[in-house]
Amino acid sequence: MSKPPKIKRRQFLAGAAAAGPAIALAASGTRAVAQTSSVPPVPPDESQAPTTTEPIHGKAGSDFMVDVIKSLDIEYVASVAASTFRGLHESFLNYGQNTKPEFITALHEDVAVGIAHGYAKVAKKPMIAMVHGTVGLQHCAMSIYNAYADRVPIIILSGNIANSVTRMPNVEWNHSALDQNAMVRDFTKWDDQPASLQAFSDSMLRAYTLATTVPMAPVLITADADLQEDAIPDGMEARLSIPRLRARAQPMGDSGAVREAAKLLVEAEYPVIYCNRYGRTEKAPALLIELAELLNAAVVDPHMRMNFPNRHKFNHSMRRELALAAADVILALEPIELWGLTNTVADVDLRPNRAMRRNPNLKIIHIGSEALMMKSNYGDVQRFASVELSIPGDAEATMPSLIEAVRAELSPVRRASNEVRGLMLAEQSAGLMDAARREAAFAWDASPISSARLSMELWDQIKTDDWMMPTETQLMSDWPYRLWDITKPYQTMGGSGAQGVGYNTPAAIGAALANKPHGRLTIAIAGDGDFNMAPASAIWTAAHHQIPMLIIVRNNRAFHQEVMYVQNMAVRRNRDPANCFIGTTIREPNIDHAQIARGYGLYAEGPIENPNELGPAIRRALAVVRRGEPALLDVIAQPR
């Protein structure tokens, strides 16, 4: 006599959900009667675990998945709880004991991925963001795109119920897909939907390796819910294996091309080093300093990473238009926008009154990895540029061989002439800081508070700390870069990548999470438009996990960049610019960000409008952060 077939738990639940009412009616012999009682339903007893069928004895599939993830030495997984990965969720907590990785609770998938983005830029390794099926991927698509355009490694785990027979009616169908990864495939480096536990193991190791090999980018693995929740069949566990993760070298530029680049740089009369996503590890700034001092060359750093100390005598970022216009050779290291270097100023602006043309004899040397990963649909690759010499490879990995090649090319005569150029560059840069301080003093007592005063009041109280600023500053006229002393590789981490509004607060929380074990003071300055574009619930994660950081909402009550854009359009069309505040301002009512923060459990003050009250408020907030808690200040600020 044959044994009856085993029914999987999901199949049983699906059948029970459909047949349950009929079974109840047949047992009672009565017709269904609508519930019209006004008595409220009894709330569920949260002390009772939900009943399940077919208890699992031994190891579940998701337990093995946790073994695989632990082999990658991943510290954290950020997630919003959801059904398509409940098996993994439970295994992380009980089987994995909530350590390596530790579960970081987020209240929105966009926040979970944003936290992973900021964490990776500081920790220099990926964390996991776990998202829910089709809807979770849709929620976090913008954050994934930011990380892709920023070339940052994130491992995204999504859940899916691939087998339609085991899906429960309605919700599980809506939250599953045949190929849900297609939604974000155009802006991930690689994705997979492994159909077995061994395939999951292989895929996770491949995903980690690809994510952390230049050009870095997010990867996506979908973990099937049945694989997670079912027990590992008898005898299979012994056959499962986890590949060994080995260190991988990053791709370097061709040695012959590097020697050719060195020759061009040494022979140049006015070489300029231009860097964007160059600073990949904490070794990067020291290597760039060595090259710049060897060549006595100006460096232009648009703050995409911490590439070069801002007060170094060869840092000419504050006069970058003049430096780039004078250059006869530009060395472009991991440039985001190469075409603009060959034609106009760094932020390409083709209007006649703004464009500064290049030296007609300009030669461009390009070392970068952006051409090693190209997708057709999205424009983050920028316009194609014709250059003198292009060297595919990681610029930081190529730097030691370039330094040695330059040293070999330098004759005593050339060294002497380069030193004369170095003295000129040092003299030119000496006055930049004094000029910035004088400019900062112009609106010192203004209300709303100037960005310059906000920057200086903050700097005065953190300059002796081991600090880190994870947020973008271009919309506050880059005052921290102009006034602070930025020397350590981790002190800044650049922008969002794709300029997706809502990046700064979640990324800052991720950066603060990475800074926490080191005792670093994390200071985030977010615009009010950006702060409100991200779910405000992001700050609850900081409060819940006691992630120490100061968040300053620089509140100009507008999407001010858009105000300027619409005003400019009105002027060009000879129309009234006064109407341009409609649809661009965040007023009537004004938002009380401090009240919102207190509701999420943070210490908060504001709105602060009097500039003389700013310093004391910063002091009180920093006292909270220094004792290990997050705090927020709402500062009413000038537009820029």
Give domain status of residue 35, yes or no.
Answer: no
Both 583 and 632 in a single domain?
yes
Q: How far is it, in rounded angstroms, from Cα 115 to Cα 143?
A: 9
Q: What pLDDT is stored for residue 159 in this prediction?
A: 93
pLDDT band, residue 24 (cuts 50/70/90) = very low
Q: pLDDT digits over 199-208, tens only?
A: 999 999 999 9
CA 339 to the chain's CA centroid: 25
Residue by residue, DSSP assigns 392-440 as ES-HHHHHHHHHHHHHHH--HHHHHHHHHHHHHHHHHHHHHHHHHHHHH
271: part of which helix (H) or strand (E)? strand 271-275
Residues above pLDDT 90, as percent of the chain: 65
Both 83 and 217 in a single domain?
yes
Q: What pLDDT is stored for residue 52 in this prediction?
A: 52
- Among candidate residues 239, 271, 306, the one where a domain is terminated: 239
Q: What pLDDT is stored for residue 391 in this prediction?
A: 96
Both 175 and 270 in a single domain?
no
Q: What pLDDT is stored for residue 1 in this prediction?
A: 42
Give domain status of residue 336, yes or no.
Answer: yes
Based on the structure, what is the number of domains in the chain? 3
Give domain status of residue 3, yes or no.
Answer: no
Q: How far is it, in rounded angstroms, from Cα 77 to Cα 100?
A: 9
Residue 302 has pLDDT above 90, yes or no: no
Q: What pLDDT is stored for residue 41 in this prediction?
A: 52
Residues above pLDDT 70, as percent of the chain: 89
How are beta strands 102-105 and 76-79 bridged, if at all?
A: parallel
Q: What pLDDT is stored for residue 612 in this prediction?
A: 96
Q: How far is it, in rounded angstroms, from Cα 559 to Cα 581?
A: 9
CA 258 to the chain's CA centroid: 31
Give domain status of residue 44, yes or no.
Answer: no
pLDDT band, residue 44 (cuts 50/70/90) = low
pLDDT band, residue 348 (cuts 50/70/90) = very low
Q: What pLDDT is stored for residue 53 in this prediction?
A: 58
- Among candidate residues 382, 406, 433, the one where a domain is terminated: 433
Here the CATH number for the domain that contains residue 275 is 3.40.50.1220
Residue 54 has pLDDT above 80, yes or no: no
Q: How far is it, in rounded angstroms, from Cα 325 to Cα 272?
A: 10
Residue 13 has pLDDT above 60, yes or no: no
pLDDT band, residue 15 (cuts 50/70/90) = very low
Residue 342 has pLDDT above 80, yes or no: no
366: part of which helix (H) or strand (E)? strand 363-368
Which of the residue ranges 251-260, 579-588, 595-604 would you say has the lowest mean pLDDT? 579-588
Residue 222 has pLDDT above 60, yes or no: yes
CA 267 to the chain's CA centroid: 39
Q: How far is it, in rounded angstroms, from Cα 228 to Cα 62?
A: 4
Q: Which one-letter amino acid corresponds to residue 337?
A: E
Q: Which one-letter amino acid corresponds to residue 414?
A: R
Q: pLDDT digits over 532-563, tens only?
A: 988 788 999 999 999 999 999 998 888 878 88
What mean pLDDT is predicted for residues 425-451? 89
What mean pLDDT is predicted for residues 458-470? 96
**What is the overall mean pLDDT for the chain?**
87
Residue 448 has pLDDT above 60, yes or no: yes
Both 229 and 261 in a single domain?
no
Both 171 and 299 in a single domain?
no
Helix, strand, or coil here: 140? Answer: helix
What mean pLDDT is predicted for residues 204-216? 96
Q: What pLDDT is stored for residue 39 in this prediction?
A: 43
CB 59 within 8 A of CB 237: yes
**Residue by residue, what is the 3-state secondary structure of 541-604?**
HHHHCCCCEEEEEEECCECHHHHHHHHHHHHHCCCCHHHHHCCCECCCCCCCHHHHHHHCCCEE
Residue 356 has pLDDT above 70, yes or no: no
Residue 138 has pLDDT above 60, yes or no: yes
Residue 177 has pLDDT above 80, yes or no: yes
Both 308 and 420 in a single domain?
yes
635: part of which helix (H) or strand (E)? strand 630-636
Helix, strand, or coil here: 131? Answer: strand
Both 482 and 396 in a single domain?
no
pLDDT band, residue 43 (cuts 50/70/90) = low
pLDDT band, residue 14 (cuts 50/70/90) = very low
Residue 12 has pLDDT above 50, yes or no: no
Residue 23 has pLDDT above 50, yes or no: no
Sign of the CA dihedral running 458, 445, 603, 481: negative
What mean pLDDT is predicted for residues 178-184? 91
Q: How far is it, in rounded angstroms, from Cα 297 to Cα 609?
A: 43
Q: pLDDT digits over 365-388, tens only?
A: 999 998 888 888 888 888 888 899
Both 468 and 406 in a single domain?
no
Both 177 and 295 in a single domain?
no
What mean pLDDT is predicted for residues 316-322? 89
Q: Half-sphere exposure (CA, 13 Å, Cβ side) for 300?
A: 24
Q: What pLDDT is stored for residue 7 in this prediction?
A: 45
Tell me the CA distances in angstroms from 450 to 461, 482, 505, 551, 608, one per residue in order.
17, 14, 21, 17, 12
Sign of the CA dihedral running 431, 432, 434, 439: positive
Both 261 and 185 in a single domain?
no
Q: How far is it, in rounded angstroms, from Cα 457 to Cα 472?
A: 18
Both 356 and 376 in a single domain?
yes
Give domain status of residue 291, yes or no.
Answer: yes
Give domain status of residue 615, yes or no.
Answer: yes
- DSSP letter at 317 equals G
Here the CATH number for the domain that contains residue 159 is 3.40.50.970
Q: What pLDDT is stored for residue 543 in this prediction?
A: 97
Most confident option among 31-35, 159-163, 465-469: 465-469
Helix, strand, or coil here: 333? Answer: strand
pLDDT band, residue 340 (cuts 50/70/90) = confident
CB 487 within 8 A of CB 307: no
What mean pLDDT is predicted for residues 82-94? 93
Q: How far is it, in rounded angstroms, from Cα 521 to Cα 491?
A: 10
Q: Which residue has the higher pLDDT, 220 or 4?
A: 220
Q: What pLDDT is stored for residue 375 in this prediction?
A: 86
Both 413 and 497 in a single domain?
no
CB 145 within 8 A of CB 492: no
- Among candidate residues 433, 465, 489, the one where a domain is terminated: 433
pLDDT band, residue 344 (cuts 50/70/90) = low
Q: pLDDT digits over 264-284, tens only?
A: 999 999 999 999 999 999 999
Q: Which domain holds residue 176?
A: 61-239
CA 586 to the chain's CA centroid: 26
Helix, strand, or coil here: 285? Answer: helix
The conformational region for residue 477 under phi > 0 = left, psi -120 to 50 = alpha, else beta, is left
Give domain status of residue 95, yes or no.
Answer: yes
CB count within 10 Å of CB 596 equals 18
- DSSP letter at 40 equals P
Give domain status of residue 21, yes or no.
Answer: no
pLDDT band, residue 17 (cuts 50/70/90) = very low
